Amino acid sequence: MKKLIALVGLAGAACAAVAAPDNVPLDGRALFEEKCAMCHRDMGMGTGLLQRRMDANIARLENRTDLTSEFVVMAARIGIGNMPRIPRGEASDAELRAIGDYLADSATRAP
């Protein structure tokens, strides 16, 4: 029994060593591409639905200049319109903040 407890403790320590430190910034663009782009880039369902309500040039989220990080996180976490909510099991709070920061920073990115 002691050996089993020791093995479990070692496995936990190994997992903790592999996990990224909390102070390492997340790549919002990479996370957007992984978790959002399938719907919110060209030919995505989200982009197509937004094109019905707004100019096609800004229906693609990365082209928007009016998004705040807080709005992106809120919209993703609780859902908005036809977009389902994104539970924490699919994207952590930190990941959504990084995505929100990436999209909110669109005004400073080259078109």
pLDDT tens series, the chain, 111 aa: 555 454 445 455 444 444 455 677 899 999 999 999 999 999 999 999 999 999 988 899 999 999 999 999 999 999 999 999 999 999 999 999 999 999 999 755 545
Upper half-sphere CA count for residue 62 (Cβ side, 13 Å): 17
- Fold designation for 24-108: Cytochrome Bc1 Complex; Chain D, domain 2 (1.10.760)
- Of the candidates 102, 106, 99, 49, the residue with the CA atom closest to the CA atom of residue 73: 99
pLDDT value at residue 106: 75
pLDDT value at residue 69: 96
pTM of this structure: 0.74
pLDDT value at residue 21: 58
Q: CA–CA distance from 52 to each of 11, 56, 80, 111 (Å)?
A: 51, 8, 15, 22
pLDDT value at residue 110: 46
pLDDT value at residue 56: 87
pLDDT value at residue 24: 76
